[in-house]
Amino acid sequence: MNSNRKTLNNQIMKQAASDAFKKFHPRIMAKNPVMFVVEIGFVITLVLSIFPTLFGKGESALYNAGVSFILFLTILFANFAEALAEGRGKAQADSLKKTKQDTKATLLLPTGTTKLVSSTDLRKGDVVIVEANELIPSDGEVIQGVASVDESAITGESAPVIKESGGDFSSVTGGTRVVSDRIKVKITTNSGESFLDRMIGLVEGAKRQKTPNEIALNTLLVSLTLIFLIVCTTLVPISSYVNATVPIATLIALLVCLIPTTIGGLLSAIGIAGMDRVTQFNVIAMSGKAVEAAGDINTIILDKTGTITHGNRMAASFIMINKVSKEELNSIALHTSLHDETPEGRSIVELAKKLGVPREEFKIEGSHGVEFKAETRMSGTDFNTGRVVRKGAVEAIKQFVLEQGGSIPSDLDMRTKQIAIEGGTPLAVSEGNRIVGLIYLKDTVKPGMKERFEELRRMGIKTVMCTGDNPLTAATIAKEAGVDEFIAEAKPEDKIAVIKKEQSEGKLVAMTGDGTNDAPALAQADVGIAMNSGTIAAKEAANMVDLDSNPTKIIEVVSIGKQLLMTRGALTTFSIANDVAKYFAIIPAMFMLAIPQMQSLNIMRLATPESAILSALIFNAVIIPLLIPLAMKGVKYVPMSATKLLNRNLFIYGLGGIIAPFFGIKVIDLLLTLLHVA
């Protein structure tokens, strides 16, 4: 999934050319009503080129054949555009399929023994052991141990990442390789339902559904086609009234030139290419709707830990409170984390070792751990002797101690504020009903965040940071990162509340996160982007997954979403504007002999009625392959106001769509005249 790889090659081009012919099947063409009308016209003119007197008129077989051939090319070019877009996605899917292979897994049985089984036999809930140089057999979560994992087969990033039990970096993906150490993994998906399986299906387009915007535009195109079909049909009685005979092939040519064939031929390719461009940035979009919604985003909600910051908060120091001795605090802080397997908990244990806490204090016999919960916002250890030690958010520990009949030390708030001002996270430590100290946790903002958020601001997008930290810590991180707003001491329901508030004001909201507690908010947001390094729950709730786990990738996603909408709008404008020039080419040619006054509308001074019609048809056909690169690459997005953007695109694609056919049709007419084709 390397974003720098070459996305088009000879093999893809050859396959697309082959698939373009297969798409001539009426059942496939019927899915695109505009091009289906062109195909019906092709069949009729083909029959007329073989039987020119079929309808009792002596029409030129050569002229009918010429129209038929040009219509054939029009359909072929449109099919090629779609096949090319699909081919690029299939090429990516093929590379992913090479990663997905049937591997052997060491299954841990309930009896404690192990058994070698096929990865396809694994089921959700199974526990496997994966050692160095072994492939992880399926998606899961590390429940024991720490290991370096090579995820290059999926992310394209050669540097291995650390995966460990607890926290938000425990998720592992099937097909990745353990580089060092040994981990115990709990399988979270059944065979055929893994993240890699879903990626393959989405990338190759097997599950691509048309977006609401695409459906609406398709409805418009069908409506225009029906209108022009009625117009062309009424030309038959009108022409007979003025004693003019309009050949059937000419009527079909007029219809094909007037209906929006350009955008009709490229519409599907634009949608496929839009999702493909997201994939180029190592982001897997679960639907085209999510990509489109990203283009209209007004607000982005970002989780702090692991998203804006590195997320590896480590214990930097123990701070004494209320005249507690240094040795006593070190021992109690250690005891709060004896059963804590999270990175933070292990860092507290490591700090206690460095500070010289006696070895016998590290024994866990006679105690059991109390896990952290979002509701309580604390964790700790209960001893069989009745001794209770806790660590957690300062306000949570305060309430806990007061409920136990204790009191709050006078210097607690001052020490807490000092840590927060320095950008750290304070955890209060208690024993029984007394608070004995603080643990100073340090986290750092990821580089380049301030510049990226400034770029989002220029795009008119508001950024809001949500964090469970206290207001002072949150304010310090928010200022350093450069976000517009922040919400401190946020619980999962608070994140959902702020998303709903923004949505109630008519805004589209994006959310990035990586933890299980982010999952509800990711599901509520219009665009939810989960980090690949995050938990399975987060990835399942989101409608996009960032394989590089880079939260600033939202900028690229938003740009691609805007680019997709702009490309579709620009080519629609260009296609409809084209019809104006084609009108001046074909209408005078149809009635010039019967109504000489129509010559005044022949402003392009086209040589003959036949050359005028063929020139317009040829231009209508060749413009499709000429626009394929633009459909695949997309219209370049530059941050500016909506008014300026609209005016710019109307000038380029509206005015350009009118002018280009005048020159193109005239040049083709001159060539046909020189070649004596018409």
Query: CA-to-CA distance for 103 and 504, rounded, in angstroms?
Result: 49
Closest CA to 270 of 8, 657, 629, 651: 629
Catalogue the E-assigned strands of 9-153: 104-108, 114-118, 127-131, 140-144, 146-150
- Furthest-apart CA pair in the chain: how many Å? 111
Distance of CA 638 to the CA centre of its chain: 19
CB-count exposure of residue 352 (10 Å: 0-12, 13-18, 19+):
buried
Query: CA-to-CA distance for 614 and 408, rounded, in angstroms?
Result: 90
Distance of CA 611 to the CA centre of its chain: 47
- Give the contacts of 136 (CB within 8 A, at least 6 positions apart): 130, 149, 172, 173, 174, 175, 176, 177, 178, 185
Query: CA-to-CA distance for 449 and 443, rounded, in angstroms?
Result: 14
The string over 322-349, giving b where at least 16 C-beta atoms fall within 10 Å of a residue's C-beta and e elsewhere, is eebeeeebbbbbbbbbbbbbbbbbbbbb
Amino acid at 301: I
Using an 8 Å Cβ cutoff, are 266 and 78 in contact? yes
How wide is the angle at C-alpha 213 spanned by C-alphas 87 and 267, nearest 5°?
A: 35
168 annotated ligand binder: no
Backbone angles phi, psi at 126, to 5 degrees: -65, 150
Half-sphere exposure of 600 (CA within 13 A, CB side): 2
The string over 307-317, giving b where at least 16 C-beta atoms fall within 10 Å of a residue's C-beta and e elsewhere, is bbbebbbbbbe
Chain length of the chain: 678
Amino acid at 336: T
159 annotated ligand binder: no
567 annotated ligand binder: no
Q: How many helices (H) and strands (E) does the chain have?
A: 23, 21
Pairing of strands 527-531, 544-546: parallel
| DSSP, residue by residue, 317-370 | EEEE-TT--HHHHHHHHHHHTTT--SHHHHHHHHHHHHTT--GGGG--TTEEEE
As beta bridge partners, residue 445 has: 309
Pairing of strands 462-466, 485-487: parallel
344 annotated ligand binder: yes
Strands of the 388-393 sheet, one edge to the other: 314-320, 434-442, 425-431, 388-393, 378-383, 367-370
150 is catalytic: no
Q: Is 410 helix (H, G, I), strand (E, B) or coil?
A: coil
139 annotated ligand binder: no
568 annotated ligand binder: no
| DSSP, residue by residue, 361-403 | GG--TTEEEE---TTT-EEEEEETTS-EEEEEEHHHHHHHHHH
* Candidates 303, 469, 546, 669; catalytic one: 303
Reading phi first (left if > 0) and then psi (alpha if -120 to 50, else beta), residue 396 is in: alpha
How wide is the angle at C-alpha 593 spanned by C-alphas 588 and 598, nearest 5°?
A: 35
377 annotated ligand binder: yes
340 annotated ligand binder: yes
375 annotated ligand binder: yes
- Give the contacts of 88 (CB within 8 A, at least 6 positions apart): 7, 8, 12, 273, 276, 632
Binding residues for ATP: 340, 344, 372-379, 391
Binding residues for Mg(2+): 514, 518
Binding residues: 340, 344, 372-379, 391, 514, 518
User: Would you name the residues annotated as active-site residues?
Assistant: 303
